[in-house]
Every structure is written in C-alpha cells, then in structure tokens.
Structure 1
Amino acid sequence: MKFKNIVAATLMLGLSTAALAQSIGKPEDQIRWRQSAYHTMAWNMGRIKANIEGTYNKDQVVQAANMIQAIANSGMGVLFQPGTDKGKGWKETRVKAELFSDKEGVGKVAKPYMEAANEMARVAASGDLAAIKTQFGKLGETCKGCHDKFRKED
C-alpha cells in the first residue's frame, strides 16, 4: 500500500514538474516574455511622466499605474531561470549573471519596487498630482536600483 502511494506521489511530482517547465517556457521564451513585461512597464512609466509634466489626465495615470502594479505583482521572477542570463528574446538579454546568484540582493531591490508600484497605484487613484509626482520619483528610483545592480548597459 505504501509503495503505491510513493509511486503515485512520484508520478504526480514528475507531472507537476513537467507542467511547470512547460508553462515557464524555453529560455528564449522566458527572456522574450520578461522583455515584453519590462517594455510594457516602461511605456506606462512614460505615460505617467507625460501626464505629470504636461496635461494631467487622472484616468490615464490610474490606468498606467495599475498596469505597472499588475506586472510588478505578477510573479514574473519565475522567468529568471538558470540559463536565461544569456540569450535572445526580442533582443539579447541585458540581465547580469549576478541576478541568478545574489538572491539577497535581488530581494533588496524587488521588494521595494513592488511596494513602490503598489503605492503608485494607490496614490494615482487619489488624483493628488503633487503626491503622484512624489511617488513617481520613488518608483523610478526603485527601477534604477535594479538596473544599476542587475542590468548590463547597452
């Protein structure tokens, strides 16, 4: 009886691992998906910036902030599997190899970024332009923190 349970558990673990690997995709898929997410975040950062420096439209800022928040909380870290520090998605990846070995350092930049993204969405919903400008600056600093530590320059 115990042997059957062990076999069943082993089979389920194998299927789960295979399903996870398939859902994560090949290394080039992982690189392409995360590049797409970062480009989408950059576009939305640009939307916020255009609104706080030009004609302010609360709805556009809220939409952009919500998109950034969604991506920040999407669990995208799973797309940084071993072997994806090199290779091409839409273009060559710029992630530094240190990202894969410095888990503590990643946590030190990822957590503040997620907190800043969540706060950006909250502040954007308030419509308080001064607070939005302040939080946008804080969010940008958290982006820069990760870029400085874990992204290669062009």
Structure 2
Amino acid sequence: MVKILVTITATMLFTTMYSASHMAHADIKPEDAAEYRQSVFQTMKWNIGHLVRMMKNQDEFDAAEASILGQRLHMAGGMILEGFTDDSDMVTGSNAKLEIWDDREGFQKAIDAYLVASKALSLATSNAKSPADFAQQVQNVGQSCKACHKAYRAK
C-alpha cells in the first residue's frame, strides 16, 4: 500500500513539474536548453554507471541504493524532451543530430522506449535482492540508449 501511495504521489509531482516546465519554455535560451539536456544525460550516465558497478562487483550491492538509482533513471527519462526546445537545434558543440527536430515523432518513440525500459528497471531495482534481479533490465535500458544514440546523436 505504501509503494502505491508513493508511486501515485511521485506521478502527481512529476506531472505538475512537467506541466510547469513546458509553460516556461518561451524564456529559455537555446544554449541553456542544450546545457540542461547534457545535465540530464550526465545524470543518467552517473546512475546507470553505479548500477553496472554493483553488477560487476556484487560486494558493492546495496538494495536501497539500487532502488534509488533505478527511480532516478526513470525520472530522468521524463526530463529529456525539455532540453530539446525548438530553437536549440543549432547550438555549437551539441552532439544532437538535426533529425531530432526533423523527426519529432521518431524521437518521441525513442524516448518512450527508454521510459518503458527504465520503468521496468525501476520496478526490478525496487525489489532486488542481488544485481542479478535487475541485470536484464539494465541491459534493456542500455539498448534503448544505444538505439537512440544511433539515430539521433552525432559522433
């Protein structure tokens, strides 16, 4: 029951934050949007890295930490699109391909695939007794990242 209440509360909070952030997009500079999205991606990299570390060295496994890392990865996925404002496609130094802006529907599908994979990871880490309990979900998240990078990331 507590998990259900926490999930409902987190969903309501996320929805409120998401709506408020979309209202404020008119004031965001393209460079700030690019910096924001890079911060989101760095957050994702940091959190997945710690889960992978736990998988490689099971002595470092901490169930509570794994659960938090899984939740963060899922929440960060919901923040990605905010950093791709309409006018942030030409920011110097960005690895984002123009296909993101030319194929918004495809980009959204890639984000949705990540969100499905990260939700499964979040659920798996919330009940994990060992890294084996979420190893497949980490792999699935990695595959969704790789697919998006292949289509929408230069480099």
Task: Name the SS for the 2:134 alignment partner.
Answer: helix
Decide whether aligned partners of structure 1 residues 96 and 19 sit closer, same or farther in structure 2, where only a CA change above 3 A counts: closer
1:19 CA drift (Å):
4.7
Compute the RMSD of aligned alpha carbons.
Answer: 1.8
Displacement, 1:61? Answer: 1.3
**Does the Cα contact within 8 Å between 1:47 and 1:60 map onto a contact in 2?**
no
Question: Is residue 54 of structure 2 the alignment partner of residue 51 of structure 1?
Answer: yes
Residue 31 of structure 1 pairs with residue 30 of structure 2: no
Instruction: Could you tell me which runs of 5 or more consecutive residues in structure 2 were left unpaired when the two chains were aligned.
Output: 1-21
State the partner residue of 1:86: 90
Residue identity in the other structure for 2:123: R
Alignment partner, residue 13 of structure 1: none
CA–CA separation in structure 1 for the residues paired with 2:45 and 2:24? 31
Give the Å deviation of 1:104.
2.8
**2:85 counterpart SS class:** coil
Higher mean C-alpha displacement, 62-71 vs 37-46: 62-71
2:24 and 2:89 mapped to 1: Cα distance?
22
Residue 120 of structure 1: how far off its partner (Å): 0.7
Q: TM-score, normalised by structure 2?
A: 0.77
Give yes or no for the alignment of 1:136 onto 2:138. Answer: yes
Contact 2:121 2:138 in 1 (8 A): yes
Distance (Å, rounded) in 2 between the aligned partners of 1:37 and 1:82: 18
Once residues 117 and 24 of structure 2 are traced to their aligned partners in structure 1, the CA distance between those partners, rounded to angstroms, is 33
Amino acid of the residue matched to residue 134 of structure 1? Q
Code of the aligned partner of 2:126? A
Q: Which amino acid letter does the alignment assign opposite residue 134 of structure 2?
A: I
Partner of residue 62 from structure 1, selected from 56, 64, 67: 67
CA 109–20 in structure 1, closer or farther in 2 if over 3 Å, else same: closer
2:8 counterpart residue number: none
Alpha carbons of structure 1 residues 19 and 146: separation in structure 2 relative to 1, 3 Å: closer
Return the index of the structure with the highest Cα Rg: 1
Unpaired runs of 5+ in structure 1?
1-16
Shift of 1:111: 1.0
